[in-house]
Amino acid sequence: MNTQETLLQLEKLKLHGMSKAYQGILAMPVQEQPSLHQFMARMTQAELLERDRKRSEANIKQSKMRYNAVLEQVECTATRNINRDHLETLADCSYIYRGENILITGATGCGKSYLACALGRQACDFGYKVLYLGMVRFLEMINQSHVDGTFIKLINRMEKIDVLILDDFGIQNISANQRIALLQMLEDRYATKSTIITSQLPVANWHQYFNSATTADAIMDRLTANAHRFELKGESMRKKK
């Protein structure tokens, strides 16, 4: 069997990482080509990297995130009240394994959504399932699920998401049914999955937003327990651009 046939068979088996690595090795001078053990190690590593890349791309596409953001591009300054060291403690995504939430607050345009998407992108790269939803759309999904009888299906879907991003929390009034639905989702996700919430409202005002002391207590308890907080400051990033 010649090298071209081998390459064709690797592609047929969908071993694209190995195929690229093999082509790279064939292009090397014979005296520089790796030994058998090194050859197998390179081929295996190349295939694993290729599969990780494809998995990350699929996760990012399915997440429907608003911004193509990365943590390295988040502007960390005292003016914005973002500490690079604090942000880097989340970069290994161990907070997801521990089921911890992230609460991001600040004025409009200060970069809350971008930061949330950067954290979501990092989670995708680590192989986690992420879903981004604007709060208005999220509440509409709850309403529609009650109408068409798919509420349980929606609840089960949300439970499977490793990182759920709810953007612009508190921008729209929330009904009793929506409060109960949110509580159920947070209960299902508590200590096992992570929820990232962005809001113009300070966390201290969230309790009042729910307009129901009993439900608010339960929701806030599940949201804020062991949560990481970012209180962004400074002028609008959109104005800067």
Name, in order, each residue with C-beta under 8 angstroms of 227's C-beta and a sequence gap of 6 or more. Answer: 100, 101, 102, 103
What is the rounded CA–CA span in Å between residue 40 and residue 46?
A: 10
Given pLDDT bands bounded at 50, 70 and 90, which one contains residue 55? confident
- Say which CATH superfamily domain 64-240 falls into: P-loop containing nucleotide triphosphate hydrolases (3.40.50.300)
Given pLDDT bands bounded at 50, 70 and 90, which one contains residue 179? very high
Domain residue spans in the chain? 3-62, 64-240
What is the rounded CA–CA span in Å between residue 68 and residue 122?
A: 11
Is residue 237's pLDDT more than 80?
Answer: no
Q: Are 9 and 22 in contact (CB under 8 A)?
A: no
Beta bridge partners of 102: 196, 228
Residue range 187-236, pLDDT digits in tens? 999 999 999 999 999 999 999 999 889 999 999 999 998 899 999 997 76
Q: Give me the mean pLDDT over the 14-40 stretch.
A: 86
Characterize the bridge pairing of strands 194-199 and 163-169: parallel
DSSP 8-state secondary structure symbol assigned to residue 104:
E
Q: How many CB atoms lie within 10 A of CB 241?
A: 6
Mean pLDDT of the chain: 92
* Portion of the chain with pLDDT greater than 90, in percent: 68
Q: What is the 3-state secondary structure (H, E, C) of 129-155?
A: CEEEEEHHHHHHHHHHHHHHCCHHHHH
